[in-house]
A and B are shown apart, each in its own frame.
Chain A
Amino acid sequence: MSTNQHGASGPAQYQKSNCFLVLSQVVLKIIKHYQEEGQGSEVVQGVLLGLVVDDRLEITNCFPFPQHTEDDADFDEVQYQMEMMRSLRHVNIDHLHVGWYQSTLYGSFVSRALLDSQFSYQHAIEESVVLIYDPIKTSQGSLSLKAYRLTPKLMEICKEKDFTPEGLKKANIGFEHMFEEVPIVIKNSHLINVLMWELEDKSTVSDKHELLNLSSSNHLEKSLQLLMDRVDDMSQEIVKYNTYSRNLSKQQQQKHQYLQRRQQENAQRQTRGEASLPEEDITKMFKPPQPPPRMDTLLIAGQINNYCQNVKEFTSQNLGKLFMAEALQGHN
C-alpha cells in the first residue's frame, strides 16, 4: 500500500506489474461463462484469483458471479464470494482475490459502474486489474481479452471525489490517462500441453477461418451506431459546460458591476458626509453556479476513444482481407 502514496509523483514506482500471466483455464472459463449465461443480457462478471510472483501478476483461476435476478432480492454477493473462496482454499487453489472480469459488447465498457468497482478493488488490492472479454470480436476470429487498471492519477481523484473542472485541471488528466492497458500473456502448464496434443488428435472439428471472413459490415455498423450515440452524449455535456461557463462569466460581470456601483455610492455618501453603506457579502447575493461534474465527460471521451480504436483496428484488418481477395482474383 505504501507504493500507492508515491503514485502521483512517481509513476515509475507504481509499475510493479508490467505484464501479466493468465493461465489457460481462466481463458476458457471466461469464454464458457459468457456463452452459457450471457446471451441477451448485458454483462457477465466474475472474480479472478491468483497471486503476485516477482513483478508479475499471475491469474490462476476464476469463478463467475451469478446474474442479478428479481427473485434474488436477498442474495448476498459477499457471502457467495466468501463461500467460494473458502471452498477453493480446501482444494489448494489460490484464493487471493486479484481482480475481476467482465464481458462487453462492441467495446462499450467505460462506464461509471466499472470505474467505481475498479476503484474499490484497486483501493483494497494494489495490483488488481479488470479483464475485459469481447465475445463478438472473439467470434470473428481472434481472442479479444484486455486487461485494464486505473492510473494513479485517476485513483487520486477518485479518492478525493473531486470531480469539478478545477480539480481535474489540477491533476491534469485527459481521457488517455484514465486507464492503462497491461499486456497479457497466456501460459499453458505442462499437463495442459499434453492435453492439447491429445485434443488435437481427437477433435474432429476443423480449424475455422472466421478471421478471413469478408462480410463483417454488420459489426462495423453497430460500432458506428454506438459511436454516434456517444458523440451525441458528449455534445450534450459540452453544451452543459458551455452554459455553465457563460453563466459564470455573466455572474462575474454582475458582481463587478455591483461592486463598482457600491463604490460609487460610497464615494458619493462620503462626499455628502453620511455613513457609508456596509459592505454586504456579495457571495451571498450572487450564488455561484454549480459547476457540472466532469467525470461523466471524461468517461464518455474515454469511451469514444475506445470505439475509435476498435473501428480503426477493424478497418485495417478488413483492408488487408480485401487486398488478399484482390490478389486471388488477379490470378484467376
Chain B
Amino acid sequence: FSSLFHHCLSLYHPSISDSYERRNEGASRVIGTILGTIDKHSIEVTNCFSVPHNESEDEVAVDMEFAKNMYELHKRVSPTEVIVGWYATGFDITEHSVLIHEYYSREATNPIHLTVDTALQSGKMNIRAYVSAQMGVPGKTVGVMFTPLSVKYVYYDTERIGVDLLQRIRLATNRTKGLTSDLSQVGGAAARVQDMLATVLAYIEDVLSGKVTADNSVGRFLMDLVNKVPTISAEDFENMLNSNINDLLMVTYLSNLTQAQIALNEKLLLL
C-alpha cells in the first residue's frame, strides 16, 4: 500500500472551501467525510460533505450520527460511492486528528486523510493526502504516523470544460462572468489558438536570431504541427468547403422557415 496514489476529481474542492467559509464562529477548522471509489492501487475521490464538530484544547467531539445520516442520503443517489476517508482544513496534523482518524478507520479500511490549507499558511493552498501507519515499539509505546501520498488530478471531459470556465472567471475582474454564446465562443477559442501560435512564433524568432539554443525535440513538434494541416488540392478543398457551407445554410433556412411557420400558426389561432 505504500505506493498508493490518489486520483482526485477536482470538483469537490470548492465544496471544502465553501464549508470553510461557512464555519461557525470560533471554529478554526472544518472537517468532513470524503467519498469515493477504491481501485487496486489508487483511490478516486469523488464527493465530500462536511460534518459538524467541536474542538477545544483537550477534547474533540464529532457528530457521528450526522455523518452516518449524510452518508446514507448520499448513497441513495450514487450507490457506488463509499467512505474513503476524511478531510480537514488547516496545515498541520494535530493530536485530535489521530482520534478522528481512528473513528474513520472503523468506517473504512485504511482511510486517507486529506488536508486542505485554506488559511494559506504556506502562501499557497496546499492539498495533501496521508495514510496512517503504525509505528513504534510493538507491545510498548505504539504510535501512529501519517505517511503522505501522491495526489493526481483527474477530470472528466465536461468537467474539464467547467473548470476551464472557472479558470477564466478567476482572471476576470470582479470574479464574475456571464456565459457567452454563439460565435463569440468560437472567436474566443480562435483567439486562444492565436495566442499560442504567437508564443511559438516568438520562440522560433529567438532561435533564429541565436538568442536561444535550438532544441531538437521542439523542432520535431513544430514539424508535426505544420504537417497537421492536410494538403488537399485547392479544387477539392473548395468543393468540400462549399458543400459543407451549403448544408449549413440550408439547415439555417429550414429552421427559420419552421419558426416562421409556427409563429404564423400561433397568430392565426389568436385571430
Contacts and interface: CB of A to CB of B under 8 A. Distances in A.
A138 B162 contact: yes
B70 A87 contact: yes
Contacts of A304: 258-259, 262
A84 B72 CA distance: 10
A125 to B, nearest CB: 22
B224 interface: no
Contacts of A21: 176
A326 B182 CA distance: 20
Contact of B66 (A24, A87, A311): A87
A284 interface: no
Contacts of B164: 207
A92 B24 contact: yes
A32 B46 contact: yes
A210 B157 contact: yes
B17 A192 contact: yes
B178 A185 contact: yes
Contact of B167 (A196, A202, A312): A196
A156 B15 CA distance: 39
Nearest to A35: B156
A83 interface: yes
B11 A188 contact: no
B159 interface: yes
A37 B158 contact: no
A143 B118 CA distance: 28
B169 A205 contact: no
Secondary structure class of chain B's binding surface, majority of residues: helix
Contacts of A238: 265
B17 A139 contact: no
B47 to A, nearest CB: 8
Given A37-B78, A138-B158, A207-B164, A61 B17 contact: no
B155 interface: yes
A175 B177 CA distance: 30
B58 to A, nearest CB: 24
Most buried by B among A65, A145, A183, A311: A311
Contacts of A234: 262
Most buried by A among B80, B162, B234, B265: B162
Nearest to A44: B77
Contact of B162 (A143, A202, A318): A143
Given A32-B11, A169-B270, A186-B176, A25 B192 contact: no
Given A31-B11, A66-B77, A329-B229, A142 B176 contact: no
A234 B269 CA distance: 14
Contact of B77 (A65, A87, A198, A305): A65
Interface in A196-213: 196-200, 202-205, 207-212
Contacts of A165: 269
7 contacts: A36-B46, A64-B78, A138-B158, A144-B179, A186-B169, A188-B169, A212-B193
Interface of A: 19, 21, 23-25, 27-29, 31-37, 60-61, 63-66, 75, 80, 83-84, 87, 90-93, 135, 138-139, 141-145, 165, 168-169, 172, 174-176, 183-200, 202-205, 207-212, 220, 224, 227, 231, 234, 238, 241, 294, 301, 304-305, 307-308, 311-313, 315-322, 324-326, 328-329, 332
Given A186-B165, A189-B175, A322-B245, 5 more contacts: A210-B157, A227-B258, A317-B183, A321-B186, A326-B237
